[in-house]
Structure 1
Amino acid sequence: MKAFIFDMDGVIIDTEPLHNEIVRGILAKDNIFVTDKEFRQFTGMASTAVFDIFIQRYNLPHSADQMSQDQMTTLKEYIVKHQMKPIDGIVPLIENLHKAGIPMAIASSSRPDVIKFVADFFNITPYFQLLMSGEDLPHSKPAPDIYLQTAQKLNVAPADCVVLEDSVNGTIAAKDAGMYCIGFANPNSGNQDLSRADIIVNKITDIDITKL
């Protein structure tokens, strides 16, 4: 292992169910109602890609970018209002990797401002060499684009990277990028198929960096 890459939603902060609730509220304004089962297939995808699907499906008179901005504004307000905490064990894992001299990055489908907001809110920004957003890439997870670009920017071969993911789309992206993937079975991320992951953990504290 020469680099460790974190997904954010559902890995660093428990926001997957919150994202779903906010997106549902935005779509409901156009009388579009989405079930939990439908939402599971979108977990880990960039919000603009998700909104694009609904804009095309229902011919909505909105831009995906504006809908995504509305979603992220609501999300940030919620995080501050409820003083959300990092997922248990994630900060000690980051600190241990830092002590071991392992370069780290966040590679998330969230917008760049939200990634920085969360990292700053949890006071973990200085630990990371790179905060990478998939919003501006041609293809969202499950495409491997974000992980390949992250490895390139870190100047580390994909095969030397370890990824921590909580979604089926994220694990597919990491494995198709040629990386070692730890699947975090976060119950709040829904019933995600993490079978592509190299190992699956139920708690972040189960990750032993000396074995990676």
Structure 2
Amino acid sequence: MVDIAAIFDMDGVLIDSEPLWCRAEVEVFNHLGVPLTESMSSQTMGLRTDEVVSYWYAKFPWTGANQSVVADRILSQVGELVATEGKPMPGAVEAVQLCRRMQLPLALATSSPMSLVHLVLKRLGLQDAFDVLNSAETEEFGKPHPAVYLTTAHRLGVHPSKCIAVEDSIRGMMSAKTAGMRCIVVPAAEERENPQFAAADFVLDSLETINQAWLERVIYSLYSA
């Protein structure tokens, strides 16, 4: 087997947290007078929380709470929702466990802060599953910039060209591809027909598709040439 690393995004890949982010953002922003709706929240999918706040402040500037405070409020609410309601995406835990059994170097690369990462992994029972945990909060730029993926590959000790990223968003996919990685995307149902996902190497309806035989075929097809 070629020495390949697997790098998973978190929100929308491992945990069904996008609806939780949406609820928290709508509540916090509405309280500030920002007319955010659930459908509008998809515009910032894949961004760091500080970038989400900056995005909506640019469109609907508010007075009172500064952007850092607003970001903290959103994160606090999401953390509470994850701890009480968080559910794994179909096939997510099994896919991570499969990579462990196959002894692939394994990492998580997310736009979410590490405080939320630890809550999610505890909720999913995956506290010890990953060799590397990396958050874009420590990077100058978040996704779609490739920094978080490049740093993750470096920390794994694996060249980016030998990494397969698992993503769910356009920004996440662009981040991985720009880093020089191959990318499997699992878009939300309402996003599946987005033509931009054609840039991915594989587009799946669910991580339940992934089993050892499938993953071995993918690795050989992508990297044996």
- Give the TM-score normalised by structure 2: 0.86
Structure 1 runs not aligned, ≥5 long: none
Q: Tell me, yes or no, if the aligned pair for 1:40 and 1:191 is still in contact at 8 Å.
A: no
Q: Tell me, yes or no, if the aligned pair for 1:48 and 1:68 is still in contact at 8 Å.
A: yes
Distance 2:133 2:203 in 1: 24
The equivalent position to 2:168 in structure 1, one of 160, 166, 169, is 166
Q: Tell me, yes or no, if the aligned pair for 1:116 and 1:131 is still in contact at 8 Å.
A: no
Distance 1:37 1:203 in 2: 22
Distance 2:121 2:183 in 1: 22
The equivalent position to 1:23 in structure 2, one of 22, 25, 29, is 25
> CA offsets per residue over residues 122-154 of structure 1, 9 Å max, x none?
111211011111123111111111111111111
- Map 1:106-117 → 2, pairs under 5 A: 106-117=108-119
Q: Which moved more, 1:187-196 or 1:52-61?
A: 187-196
Instruction: Please name the residue that 1:60 is paired with.
Output: 62
Distance 1:210 1:66 in 2: 46
Instruction: Please name the residue that 1:90 is paired with.
Output: 92
Q: Tell me, yes or no, if the aligned pair for 2:25 and 2:41 is still in contact at 8 Å.
A: no
Instruction: Please name the residue that 2:201 is paired with.
Output: 198
The Cα of 1:188 is off from its aligned counterpart by 6.7
Structure 2 runs not aligned, ≥5 long: 220-225
Q: Which of the pair is proportionally richer in helix? A: 2
Instruction: Please name the residue that 1:72 is paired with.
Output: 75
How many residues are treated as equivalent by the alignment? 211
Instruction: Please name the residue that 1:138 is paired with.
Output: 140
Q: Spell out structure 1 runs of 4+ moving beyond 6 A.
A: 188-191
User: 3-state DSSP class of the match of 2:7?
Assistant: strand
Quick check: which has more Rg, 1 or 2? 2
User: 3-state DSSP class of the match of 2:197?
Assistant: coil
The Cα of 1:34 is off from its aligned counterpart by 2.4
User: 3-state DSSP class of the match of 1:162?
Assistant: strand
The Cα of 1:120 is off from its aligned counterpart by 1.7
Q: Tell me, yes or no, if the aligned pair for 1:166 and 1:186 is still in contact at 8 Å.
A: yes
> CA offsets per residue over residues 190-210 of structure 1, 9 Å max, x none?
875422211100010212221
User: 3-state DSSP class of the match of 2:108?
Assistant: strand
> CA offsets per residue over residues 29-74 of structure 1, 9 Å max, x none?
1211124554323111101111012233333343333222211211
Distance 2:113 2:135 in 1: 6
- Give the TM-score normalised by structure 1: 0.91
